[in-house]
Structure 1
Amino acid sequence: MGTLTKYNALVGELEPYTPSRLALQKALADVKISDWDSEYNADTDQRTIAIAAIKVLKRMIVLTNDTLGKSSQGYSVEKLEKRIKDLCNENGLDVSDFVEVSSITDGSNLW
């Protein structure tokens, strides 16, 4: 098995979704990873790759489906948001920085 690159780590983090290569490269550039073909190190790269993945997933939320040539995939907004929340929880990130989080109030101000 070959070396796992930062780019491939991002692809793996996003499975089963298949965004374009350009979207992946942009997300890596947005999180300041310019050496995306260098070896992935879980100790130093995991959080940054997670943030890049979240950036890609957020862009997919606006789609309900995507067709490219003969392949297509559908998206569930709820499932994408859950995946974003899972990535945040796994990497110590504040979910509210990436997706809208509902707050529950008791409604006592209405009495």
Structure 2
Amino acid sequence: MGNLTKYDALIGELEPYTPSPLALKKALADANVGNSDAEYNAETDRKPIAIAAIKVLKKMVVLTSDSMGKSSQGYSVDELKKRIKVICSENGLDASEFVEVPSITDGSNMW
């Protein structure tokens, strides 16, 4: 088995979803991941790959399904948002920067 590349790491982070190669490349570029064919290093690449994955998943949230040729896949918006929150949690990122996170406010001043 060959080395895991940054591109491969992004694909692994996104499974079971299968976005287009172009969407993956753009997300890597937007997350400032250089040389996507270089070997993945968990210490230095984990957070940028997570950000790239979140960028891809955010685009998928607006879809309920996707089809290309003979294959198609459906999406649960709630599950996509949960996956984004998990990736954020695992990588020390603030989920509210990427998805709407409910918050509780003190309403005692209304009485």
Normalised to the residue count of structure 1, the TM-score between the two structures is 0.96
What percentage of residue pairs aligned between the two structures are identical?
Answer: 72
The corresponding residue for 1:107 is 107
Q: CA deviation at 1:109?
A: 3.5
Aligned match of 1:24: 24
- TM-score in terms of structure 2 length: 0.96
The amino acid that maps onto 2:66 is D
- Partner SS, residue 66 of structure 2: strand
Alignment correspondent of 1:98? 98
- Runs of 5+ in structure 2 lacking a partner? none
Report 1:1-111 matches (<5 A): 1-111=1-111
Q: What is the RMSD computed on CA atoms of the aligned residues?
A: 1.0
In 1: Cα distance, 2:33 partner to 2:106 partner: 44
Aligned residues: 111
Deviations 1:32-88 (A, max 9, x none): 123000100001100100000000000000000001111100111110000000000
1:107 & 1:57 partners in 2: Cα distance? 34
**Local SS of the residue matching 1:66:** strand
Structure 1 stretches of 4+ with a deviation exceeding 2 A read 105-111
